[in-house]
Amino acid sequence: VSKNAGRNQFHFFTRSMQEQAWHRITMMGELRNALPRKELQLYFQPVVELASGRVAKGEALLRWMHPQKGMLLPSEFIALAEESGLIHEFGNWVFMQASAWSKRWTELTGTLFQVSVNASPVQFMQRKRALHWGRYLSELGLAWNSMSVEITEGVLFNTSSSTAEQLLDMRDAGIQVAIDDFGTGYSSMAYLKRFDVDYLKIDQSFVRGTAPNSTRRTIAETIIVMAHKLGLKVIAEGVETPEQRDWLQHAGCDFGQGYLFSQPVPPEEFEQLLSLHSPAVSGR
Ligand code: C2E
Ligand code: MG
Ligand code: MG
Ligand code: MG
């Protein structure tokens, strides 16, 4: 009996592996066609200046409108894009689209409207990408700090010359740098100074679902103080309640992002948020 059970298990296991492999191959093929078939779309989430409550910036978040499965989130396809190398193409597309929206929203609001994009560590393995992005910005006639790129702490720790070179090139091109999900990795303040980072984004886990006087809040408060001493601005992620917003504002945090203000929305909807919150637009 046990022998049979073992064999059945083995059979079951291999079949599920085959299914997984098939699923991956199918997804990979579909992902390859996603850009030419115009299935990729950018959503935007507002970044709110806590002191004034105005929408100060926007973060671009990638979505894949799959013809059968509907809207897929990055967690369902970014890893595959990284493995296949498609992430380079996707990343360039995201940067160009987001730049165009920054240009439009800058014109609409009458003040520089910065848009941020996320970049995965894999993208930093390709040399000279930053120069290319910098050139694209000048072609569009965008101001030097119109765009910011969000990277994770791991990218700062990567000692490869190509990564360091790209970060510095990006800085030279006037692209700002934000450290995403701060507090979840090694969090070395020394690296922040070395690459002259502009923003720290405190990870959601220090904000969402936290209780007053909790350790996580104490850590967040400490990050805010240290970041300010180093001349960085701080953005808190995962702000879901007014109480969290008030605590962050009191702790001196500069910006907040989260469902309290808005979920990520398509650009047309984002533009409505802008006109509701910005006097320059609603006054027209
Ligand atoms: P991230 O950059 O840390 O983005 C924040 C994520 O938290 C987004 O998920 C956003 O929808 C979600 N979020 C925002 N506010 C709240 C809140 O109040 N509560 C909760 N529960 N969640 C909130 P999303 O869009 O699924 O993106 C997940 C991750 O995928 C991003 O994390 C980013 O690392 C990555 N990603 C997104 N777009 C791109 C892209 O164009 N390229 C690359 N390489 N990665 C991307
Ligand atoms: Mg981000
Ligand atoms: Mg994050
Ligand atoms: Mg993240």
| pLDDT value for 87 | 94
Ligand 2 midpoint to CA 117 (Å): 7
pLDDT of residue 13: 59
| Mean local confidence (pLDDT), 197-216 | 96
The Cα 141–Cα 107 span in angstroms is 12
Identify the band that residue 11 occupies on the pLDDT scale cut at 50, 70 and 90: low
First and final C-alpha spacing in the chain: 79
pLDDT reported for residue 283: 39
Pocket lining: 264 vs ligand 1, CB cutoff 6 Å = yes
Average pLDDT over residues 23-40: 95
% the chain with pLDDT above 70? 90
At 155 the pLDDT is 85
Pocket mutation for ligand 1, best pick of 45, 61, 152, 248 (most atoms within 8 Å of C-beta): 61
Residues 226-233 have a mean pLDDT of 95
Taking the CA of residue 260 as reference, the ligand 1 atom at the shortest distance is 18
Packing angle, helices 86-109 and 267-277, rounded to 10: 30
| Burial class, 32, CB count within 10 angstroms (exposed 0-12 / middle 13-18 / buried 19+) | middle
For the chain, the residue count is 284
Whether 134 and 175 have beta carbons less than 8 Å apart is answered as yes
> What pLDDT score was predicted for residue 64?
98
Q: What is the pLDDT of residues 36-55, one digit of tens each?
A: 999 999 999 999 999 999 99
pLDDT band at 62 (very low <50, low <70, confident <90, very high): very high
Phi, psi values for residue 4, rounded to 5°: -60, -45
ipTM: 0.98
Ligand 2 centroid to Cα of residue 201, in Å, is 8
Residue 210 Cβ contacting ligand 1 at under 6 Å: no
Q: pLDDT value at position 276?
A: 67
- pLDDT, tens digit, for every residue of 159-195? 777 788 888 888 888 999 999 999 988 777 778 887 8
Query: pLDDT band for position 277 (50/70/90)?
Result: low
Q: Residue 128: what pLDDT?
A: 66
Prediction pTM value: 0.92
Q: What is the 3-state secondary structure (H, E, C) of the chain?
A: CHHHHHHHHHHHHHHHHHHHHHHHHHHHHHHHHHCCCCCEEEEEEEEEECCCCCEEEEEEEEEEEECCCEEECHHHCHHHHHHHCHHHHHHHHHHHHHHHHHHHHHHHHCCCCEEEEECCHHHHHCCCHHHHHHHHHHHHCCCCCCEEEEEEHHHHHCCCHHHHHHHHHHHHCCCEEEEEEECCCCCCHHHHHHCCCCEEEECHHHCCCCCCCCHHHHHHHHHHHHHHHCCCEEEECCCCCHHHHHHHHHCCCCEECCCCCCCCECHHHHHHHHHHHCHHHHCC
**Is the shortest distance between the CB of 46 and ligand 1 below 6 Å?**
no
| Least reliable range by pLDDT among 105-119, 138-152, 208-222 | 138-152
> What is the model's pLDDT at position 179?
94
**Are 116 and 60 within 8 A, CB to CB?**
yes
Residue 282 pLDDT > 50, yes or no? no
- Mean local confidence (pLDDT), 230-251: 97
What is the residue type of 99?
S
CA of 181 from ligand 3 middle (Å) equals: 4
Ligand 2 mean position to 45 CA, how many Å? 10
Cα gap 154→251, rounded to integer Å:
27
Determine the pLDDT at residue 252. 98
Which one has a higher pLDDT value, 166 or 10? Answer: 166
pLDDT in tens, 248-271: 999 999 999 999 999 999 999 999
Return mean pLDDT, the chain: 89
Q: Which residue has the higher pLDDT, 156 or 87?
A: 87
Degrees, nearest 5: CA angle 130-203-126: 20
Decide if 124 contacts 158 (C-beta within 8 A).
Answer: yes
The percent of residues in the chain predicted with pLDDT above 90, rounded, is 66
Q: Which residues contact 115 (CB under 8 A, 6 or more apart)?
A: 44, 57, 58, 59, 60, 98, 99, 101, 102, 105, 146, 147, 148
Contact 33, 68 (CB under 8 A): no
